[in-house]
Amino acid sequence: MRPTTVSPRTVPGPTNPSPAHPSRVRVIHPGGDDGKPGGPVVYWMLREQRLADNWALLHAAGLAAASASPLAVAFALFPKPFLLSARRRQLGFLLRGLRLLSADAAARRLPFFLLTGGPTEIPALLRRLGASTLVADFSPLRPVKEALDAVVDDLRRDAPGVTVHQVDAHNVVPVWAASGKLEYSAKTFRSKISKVMDEYLVEFPELPAVAPWDREQPEDVNWEELINRVCSEADNVKEIDWCEPGEEAAMEALLGSKDGFLTKRIKSYETDRNDPTKARALSGLSPYLHFGHISAQRCALEAKKHRHLSPKSVDAFLEELVVRRELADNFCYYQPQYDSLSGAWDWARKTLMDHATDKREHIYTREQLENAKTHDPLWNASQLEMVHHGKMHGFMRMYWAKKILEWTSGPEEALSVAIYLNDKYEIDGRDPSGYVGCMWSICGLHDQVGVFCSLYRESNYDFHKHRLLTTILEPTSSLYNTAVFSGLEGTSSIWKDTLHELRWLQEKIRC
């Protein structure tokens, strides 16, 4: 894999009035003189499923206000097999969140069009509305890029006057502004993002007032019927009950008076976030960040306000929220093969292939792994936590993925299985952070060359005795004697007894 730059069919952001930072916006298609002055501005929502703290919506409203035009929001639900093969678990969460959002939009007199036929319906909607501008969310993932390209190609052909903008409302620092290339590591990325953080980490303005809507009205949606139909068509992965969707629930998770992360739990984050027995030390925000129910920028702003409570914990949280999360977008944006061995660095791919035929003590099928039918109770427990709970504790994810590499026929199969399981069961699966996590664990992404290669110094392929930037656990009898797992389904944790040795081993077992 070589560092690449992206040269999309874009030009720098617009100069017209917009609340968004100019470099947060890209002009995908400039439109033409045959555009319809005063035509509505349509915000095509996808990744940022919220009305508050949304730079894409703010930009669209700014354009509408500047031209005295009305504003509408559209969401295109990808038809079966759904976007990135979303399952019932993810689709139920998404649709229940959209039901709340649509009610909020109606209260604001903001028309919300739900298109169930997919993104191919966007151009037809724009033509019916006589739209002047389309503002689209940013995502680095291939299916979303392909959908946007198809919409733009349709508009170029049949409605060339429609201007198309794209806004990165997901990252604190827009992905193309943070770096112009594929970054090697968090260290190189951190230095770049730190230099411009203050320029972008600013408070959100109010949504500009726009002209009243005077066009086609959205069709009424029978949400219960839609949710039941879509979920019945999807793979039956049980929905979660520990995390309620929507903007209000997201803000409660962040700032709630009862159990808010920043208001009640932040002090233990720095010391306890790597302890699987202390799940409350984690923020619990990843589902909301993935579905866009809360802005990472809002989380960062509020974290800075609460830094006096625990400076080290807040700094550690910001490292994960901004640097690590946005590094994942950097990788998926600049490396189109973000989910395959082709996307690994050349040296990592060579090392993996050199050892692809090494003898393995255990080989498991994907079905056996999915059903947690291995000889390792610690791995099985981690897998079952993900299956039943919809989230695996972050501390165990590296161990989980690297054992898949040890127990499958080769690195290609290992990566494929890890991504399949992650995307199927994690509530926040199908996300750049998930792909990067699997690539990091299996392909050494964002690792130093020497650290990764040292993994293969022993011919027996014994992964238990090595560490790739994070913990690989020695299956000592004392560890397994304390690892008693019970109460998997419907509980917030699979750990009955504490596993304090995990953190001790993290320090002891290193390359």
Where residue 183 sits, what CATH number does that domain have? 1.25.40.80
Residue 2 lies in a domain: yes
Query: Does residue 83 sit in the same domain as residue 185?
Result: no
pLDDT at 126 over 60: yes
318 vs 169: CA distance, rounded Å: 17
Classify each residue of 191-213 as buried b or exposed e, where b means 16 or more C-beta atoms within 10 Å of its C-beta.
ebbeeebeebeeebeebbebeeb
Instruction: Answer with the residue of higher pLDDT: 15 or 106.
Output: 106
Query: Does residue 271 sit in the same domain as residue 410?
Result: no
- The CA radius of gyration of the chain, in Å to the nearest whole number, is 23
Task: Give, to the nearest 10 degrees, the angle between helix 411-425 and helix 394-407.
Answer: 140
pTM for this model (two decimals)? 0.88
Query: Does residue 61 sit in the same domain as residue 108?
Result: yes
Q: Are the C-beta atoms of 28 and 166 separated by less than 8 Å?
A: yes
83 vs 72: CA distance, rounded Å: 23
Residue 472 lies in a domain: yes
Q: What is the pLDDT of residue 16?
A: 56
Domain count, the chain: 3
Task: Kindly state the average pLDDT of the residues 61-71.
Answer: 97
Query: Does residue 322 sit in the same domain as residue 356?
Result: no
88 vs 65: CA distance, rounded Å: 39
Q: Where is average pLDDT lowest: 36-40, 79-83, 205-209? A: 36-40
Q: What are 469's two structure tokens?
A: 């930037």
Residue 267 lies in a domain: yes
SS3 state of residue 44: strand
- Residue 414 is part of a domain; what is its CATH number? 1.10.579.10
489-509 pLDDT tens trace: 332 333 333 233 333 333 333
Q: Where is average pLDDT lowest: 230-239, 262-271, 461-470? A: 461-470
Residue 36: pLDDT band (50, 70, 90) is low
Query: Does residue 51 sit in the same domain as residue 199?
Result: no
Query: Does residue 427 sit in the same domain as residue 484?
Result: yes
Residue 215 lies in a domain: no
Torsion, Cα of 295, 296, 300, 305 (10° steps): 20
Domain end, chosen from 142, 170, 198, is at 170
403 vs 441: CA distance, rounded Å: 10
Q: Where is average pLDDT lowest: 186-195, 276-285, 362-371, 453-462? A: 453-462
Tell me which amino acid residue 470 is.
T
Helices (H), 336-472: 346-354, 366-370, 377-389, 394-407, 411-425, 432-443, 449-453
Query: Does residue 314 sit in the same domain as residue 438?
Result: no
Query: Does residue 385 sit in the same domain as residue 363?
Result: yes
Query: Does residue 318 sit in the same domain as residue 352?
Result: no
Q: What is the pLDDT of residue 432?
A: 98
Residue 32: pLDDT band (50, 70, 90) is confident
Q: What are 271's two structure tokens?
A: 């010391």
Residue 246 lies in a domain: yes
Share of the chain above pLDDT 90, in %: 77
15 vs 18: CA distance, rounded Å: 8
Identify the domain containing residue 184 by its residue range. Answer: 178-207+241-336
Query: Does residue 400 sit in the same domain as residue 332?
Result: no
Residue 384 lies in a domain: yes
pLDDT at 511 over 60: no
Residue 248: pLDDT band (50, 70, 90) is very high
Pairing of strands 25-29, 163-167: antiparallel
Residue 34 lies in a domain: yes
Query: Does residue 290 sit in the same domain as residue 373?
Result: no
Instruction: Answer with the residue of higher pLDDT: 244 or 482.
Output: 244
Domain end, chosen from 152, 170, 188, is at 170
Q: Where is average pLDDT lowest: 242-246, 442-446, 482-486? A: 482-486
Query: Does residue 22 sit in the same domain as residue 70?
Result: yes
Average pLDDT value for the chain: 87
**Closest C-alpha among 153, 437, 362, 394 to residue 284:** 394
Q: Are the C-beta atoms of 165 and 135 separated by less than 8 Å?
A: yes
Q: What are 292's two structure tokens?
A: 């866009």
**Closest C-alpha among 446, 442, 474, 436 to residue 455:** 442
- Residue 131 is part of a domain; what is its CATH number? 3.40.50.620
Tell me which amino acid residue 31 is.
G
Residue 227 lies in a domain: no
Q: Where is average pLDDT lowest: 210-219, 391-400, 457-466? A: 457-466
Domain end, chosen from 336, 351, 369, is at 336
pLDDT at 474 over 90: no
pLDDT at 51 over 60: yes
298-332 pLDDT tens trace: 999 999 999 999 999 999 999 999 999 999 999 99
Give the per-residue SS3 of 136-181: EECCCCHHHHHHHHHHHHHHHHHCCCCEEEEECCCCCCCHHHHCCC
The beta strand positions in 197-293, using DSSP E, are none
